[in-house]
Amino acid sequence: MSADLEISETAFWVNEVRARNEALSGDIYAKLWASRKNEAIWREYDQQLSGDHYEFYFGIRSRYFLSLLQSSLAAHPDLVFVNVGCGLSNYAFLAEGLSKSIEIDFPNVVQFKREKTLEWQKQGLLPPRHIVYLSANLNEADQRQTLLEKLRVEIAGKPAFILMEGITYFLDHNCLTALFELFAQVQTRDCRLAFDFFDPIRGADPPSARFRSFLETRIGWSRDAYNFFEPAELVRMTQKYYKIEERSNILEKQNEFLKKPVLSPENVAAASYACLKRL
Ligand SMILES: C[S@@+](CC[C@H](N)C(=O)[O-])C[C@H]1O[C@@H](n2cnc3c(N)ncnc32)[C@H](O)[C@@H]1O
């Protein structure tokens, strides 16, 4: 086995797992992105990490963020959805009545996503939507500045829900702080910013450590390269612009989305979730 995958390829895996339990993830389009290669990766993954509940991990995460998007849309019919580190997630299609989505990722990811999406829309496999694709390496200051200018134009003062799903730990700490400041400049009062994150203590739990070890062999990411931060640091980074609407974690959220709780710190990476509101 070699480190032959890139970070962006993690976006395929996530859909593979969402598709395995549509009832939980609520993502009826994830299966479109399925491929033999990803199935093979997940088989390998299952063998190495058997017993770790990643179907629930990704299913609950998606379901939670989808519920936030839907309630934001119910509150603001003219909502603009901004999907940062969008990968191949399908929220733009899952939220009925969404007037505009902005998808942001590395250039190769958004180009691939745009092409496939257009193809599937032509075939009637995806519903029509107004989607704007923007590319940036979010770790680069000049690219963030360009992104800010484009977001100003595209959001144009409308209410915006900004999602960062599965990406905070891949970004440099200073860049993440800069991104929070950037988002604050394009969001209006009471608009939501939601993301998942790991604090260093939770990130050290055995399932998280196993997952990082797997990623190290598959994408060459050093086990120490992740950006984990404590809840107190989350407050420090954001309090100038945002208040915390909800802070939770996967173990709490399973009670909302699973009939019977199955997750424990022994069998799932204990991801935390934050939903902030613009002051
Ligand atoms: C684990 S995937 C999650 C994708 C998607 N949000 C989801 O949950 O299905 C992480 C995504 O973040 C993107 N990403 C990571 N670092 C990035 C960076 N510096 N700039 C832009 N995108 C980045 C990757 O390309 C990838 O699509």
pLDDT digits (tens, 9 = 90+) for 75-106: 999 999 999 999 999 999 999 999 999 999 99
Residue of the nearest CA to atom 13 in ligand 1?
85
Please report, as a single letter, which amino acid is at residue 15: N
Q: Identify the burial level of 141 via C-beta atoms within 10 angstroms of its C-beta, where 0-12 means exposed, 13-18 middle and 19 or more buried.
A: exposed
Beta-strand ranges (E) seen in the chain are 80-84, 100-105, 131-135, 160-164, 192-197, 242-249, 272-278
pLDDT at 6: 60
Residue 13 has pLDDT above 80, yes or no: no
Query: Residue range 170-191: average pLDDT?
Result: 97
- Arithmetic mean of pLDDT, 260-275: 91
Please compute the mean of the pLDDT values over residues 155-169 and round it to a whole number: 97
**Ligand 1 centre and the CA of 84: distance in Å?**
8
Residue 3 has pLDDT above 50, yes or no: no
Report residue 232's pLDDT band, with 50, 70 and 90 as the boundaries. Answer: very high
Answer yes or no: is pLDDT of 5 > 70.
no
The answer to whether the CB of 135 is under 6 A from ligand 1 is no
The three-point CA angle 75-110-130 to 5° equals: 40
Index of the ligand 1 atom closest to the CA of residue 88: 9
Where do the domains of the chain lie, and which CATH numbers do they carry? Answer: 64-214+224-278 (3.40.50.150)
Residue 226 has pLDDT above 60, yes or no: yes
Q: Is 59 in the pocket of ligand 1 (CB under 6 A)?
A: no
Point out the ligand 1 atom lying closest to the alpha carbon of residue 135: 21
Instruction: Express as a percent the part of the chain with pLDDT over 70.
Output: 91
Strand order from edge to edge, sheet including 160-164: 131-135, 100-105, 80-84, 160-164, 192-197, 272-278, 242-249
Confidence at residue 36, expressed as pLDDT on a 0 to 100 scale: 67
Calculate mean pLDDT across residues 232-238: 96
Give the pLDDT mean for 199-209. 80
Looking at residue 207, its pLDDT comes to: 86
Instruction: Quick: pLDDT tens for 110-139.
Output: 999 999 999 999 999 999 999 999 999 999
Percent of the chain at pLDDT exceeding 90: 70
Q: Which residue has the higher pLDDT, 247 or 7?
A: 247
The pLDDT of residue 217: 79
Q: What's the rounded Cα separation, in Å, for the pair 29 and 91? A: 9
DSSP per-residue letters across 44-65: HHHHHTTT--HHHHHHHHHHHH
Q: With the CA atoms of 165, 177, 79 and 97 taken in that order, what torsion angle do they form, in degrees rounded to the nearest 10?
A: -10
Ligand 1 contacts CB of residue 49 (under 6 A): no
| The pLDDT of residue 2 is above 80 | no
pLDDT tens for each residue of 17-47? 898 899 999 999 999 987 766 677 777 776 7
How many angstroms separate the Cα of 152 from the Cα of each of 56, 85, 200, 252?
Answer: 36, 18, 34, 36
pLDDT digits (tens, 9 = 90+) for 41-68: 777 776 776 677 888 999 999 999 999 9
For residue 162, pLDDT beyond 50: yes
Whole-number average pLDDT of the chain: 90
At 204 the pLDDT is 77
Element (H, E) at 169: none
259 Cα to the center of ligand 1, angstroms:
30
Whole-number pLDDT of residue 50: 66
